[in-house]
Amino acid sequence: MTTPRRAVLFDLDGTLIDTAPDFHACINRLRQQESLPPLDFDTVRSEVSNGGSAMIQLAFGLAKTDPGFQPLLQRLLDLYSHHIADHSRLFDRMEALLCWLEQRHWPWGIVTNKPERFARPLLRALNLDRRCSALICPEQVRHTKPDPEGLLLACARLRCQPAASVYVGDHPRDIEAGKNAGMMTATALFGYLPQNSDPGRWGADYAATSATALQAWLASIDPSQPLTGTEHV
């Protein structure tokens, strides 16, 4: 029996790339312009996966309906576009994991809620754009995560079966999307977990404390069998 072609898909912010340092710097630059004191890094880090709107709500205490909300959000996004990879890097040992996948001829891709106008320049800046076999952003789907549309689209582009593939993320919507797509799922415990969340309740097949642990889990899966069911190491 032919082994199903498999792939590993990643969420972007907080899973594949540590983008929090650049968001932290941009938020505090914006707060400084508004004569406000800086926020500590951990406070900002926990909101990065929720996007720019969540960070404006955090940094300025404004509701989305507030007249000042959209101008501040636009200023944040403009700042970020000019500082998109000042400090952002792959998470520790993630480069080794990507090389390992490439050596095994397992294509890897990204399914993210990050807009394409930020995602593509970020990947180019880190020399990942030619290595990433599929990048799915909100502009390419009708429904974003936790809907499985983006994950299924990525699998189709990679010609990989969802049941033979893995999705890795740091937010409950990532795990929900992966499960909805019929994929195996792994939680990136090293990522930007929401405050007061309990990843153990998300229902992922594996919880990775590091990229090295994630690689070990992937290596433990019998390559002659499709990735179905729940497996742990």
Of 137, 197, 191, 144, which is closest to residue 169 (Cα–Cα)?
191
Confirm if 118 and 84 have CB atoms less than 8 A apart: yes
Whether 174 is a known active-site residue: answer no
Catalytic: which of 11, 22, 170, 174? Answer: 11
Distance CA 127, CA 131 (A): 8
127: left (phi over 0), alpha (psi -120 to 50) or beta: left
Distance CA 61, CA 34 (A): 13
Distance CA 183, CA 179 (A): 6
Q: What is the 3-state secondary structure (H, E, C) of 100-166?
A: HHHHCCCCEEEECCCCHHHHHHHHHHCCCCCCCCCEECHHHCCCCCCCCHHHHHHHHHHCCCHHHCE
Catalytic: which of 13, 18, 174, 205? Answer: 13
In what helix (H) or strand (E) does residue 90 lie, and over which residues does it extend?
strand 89-90
Whether 13 is a known active-site residue: answer yes
Confirm if 132 and 108 have CB atoms less than 8 A apart: yes
Distance CA 62, CA 165 (A): 40
Q: Residue written as tokens 């992922």?
A: 204
Catalytic residues: 11, 13
